[in-house]
Chains A and B, each alone.
Chain A
Amino acid sequence: MATDANRQSVEMSRIVAWMTTCFLVLPILIVIPVSFTPKRYLSMPAGDWSLRHYEVLISGGWLSSIGDSLLVAICSALLALAMGTLFAVGHWRLNNGVTRNLRLLLLLPMIVPPIVHAVAFYQAWSILDLLDTYLGLILVHTMKALPFVVLSVTASLVNLDPRLEQASRSLGASSRQTLFYILLPQVRPGMLAGGIFAFITSWDEIIVAIFITSRAVYTLPKRIWDGLFDNVDPAIAALGTIMIIITAIGLLIKDRYEKAQKT
Chain B
Amino acid sequence: MKDALSFESVTKKYGEFTALDNVSLDIKAGEFMTLLGPSGSGKTTMLMTIGGFVEPSAGHVTLDGQRITHLPPENRNFGLVFQGYALFPHLTVWENVFYPLRVRGMRKAEAEPKVRDVLDLIQLSHLAERFPKQLSGGQQQRVALARALVFSPELLLLDEPLSALDRALRKDLQRELKDLHERVGTTFIYVTHDQEEALSMSDRIAILRDGQIEQLGTPSQLYEKPSSIFVANFLGKSNFVPVDDLTVEGGEVRYSVGQDRFRLSRGDMSIPQSGELSLALRPERLTLYANHKDAPENCIAGKVVKVTYFGQLYEAIVSTQAAGDLLVTVDLAQNEPRIGDQVWLGWAIDSGVILAGRPVESDDAYAG
Point out residues on A near B: beta carbons under 8 Å: 161, 163-164, 166-174, 177, 181-182, 185-186
Contact = CB atoms under 8 A, between A and B. Distances in A.
B68 to A, nearest CB: 13
Given A164-B88, A167-B82, A182-B88, A174 B73 contact: no
Interface stretch (B4-12, B98-106, B351-359): B98-106
A161 B100 contact: no
Given A181-B103, A182-B88, A172 B82 contact: no
Contacts of A161: 84, 86
Interface in B119-157: 147-148, 151, 157
Given A164-B86, A177-B103, 10 more contacts: A168-B103, A169-B52, A169-B72, A170-B51, A170-B53, A170-B76, A172-B151, A173-B74, A181-B102, A185-B90
B258 interface: no
B174 interface: no
Q: Looking at chain A's contact residues, is the secondary structure mostly helix, strand, loop, or mixed?
A: helix
Interface in B147-170: 147-148, 151, 157
B77 interface: yes
Given A166-B73, A181-B99, A171 B86 contact: no
A186 B80 contact: no
A177 B334 CA distance: 64
A163 B88 contact: no
Contact of A169 (B73, B151, B157): B73
A166 B86 contact: yes
B324 interface: no
B255 interface: no
B103 A167 contact: no
Contacts of B78: 170
A171 B72 contact: no
Contacts of B99: 168, 171, 173, 181
B11 to A, nearest CB: 22
Contacts of A182: 88
Contacts of A173: 74, 99-100, 103
B86 A172 contact: no
B79 interface: yes
Contacts of B53: 166, 169-170
A172 B77 contact: yes
Contacts of B77: 172
B89 interface: yes
| Contact-residue size bin, chain B (C-beta under 8 Å from the other chain) | 20 to 34
B106 to A, nearest CB: 11
Contacts of A177: 103
Contacts of A186: 89-90
Given A164-B88, A166-B80, A166-B86, A171 B103 contact: yes
Nearest to B99: A171
A166 B54 CA distance: 11
B90 A172 contact: no
Contacts of A167: 80, 82, 86-88
B338 to A, nearest CB: 53
A166 B87 CA distance: 11
A71 B279 CA distance: 83
Given A166-B53, A177-B103, A181-B103, A171 B151 contact: yes
Contacts of A163: 82, 84, 86
B324 to A, nearest CB: 46
A225 to B, nearest CB: 44
26 contacts: A161-B86, A164-B86, A166-B53, A166-B82, A167-B82, A167-B87, A168-B99, A168-B103, A170-B52, A170-B53, A170-B73, A170-B74, A170-B76, A170-B79, A170-B148, A171-B103, A171-B148, A171-B151, A172-B75, A172-B104, A173-B99, A173-B100, A181-B99, A181-B102, A186-B89, A186-B90
Contacts of A185: 90
Nearest to A171: B100
A68 B37 CA distance: 66
A200 B53 CA distance: 41
A104 to B, nearest CB: 25
A262 B82 CA distance: 26
Contacts of B79: 170-171
Interface in B59-77: 72-77
Nearest to B73: A169
Which residue among B79, B100, B151 has the maximum number of chain A CB atoms within 10 Å of its CB? Answer: B100
Contacts of B147: 171
Contacts of B100: 171-173
Interface string B313-352: 0000000000000000000000000000000000000000
Nearest to A164: B86
Closest 5 CB pairs of A and B: A170-B80, A171-B100, A173-B103, A163-B86, A167-B86
Nearest to B83: A163
A48 to B, nearest CB: 55
B12 to A, nearest CB: 16
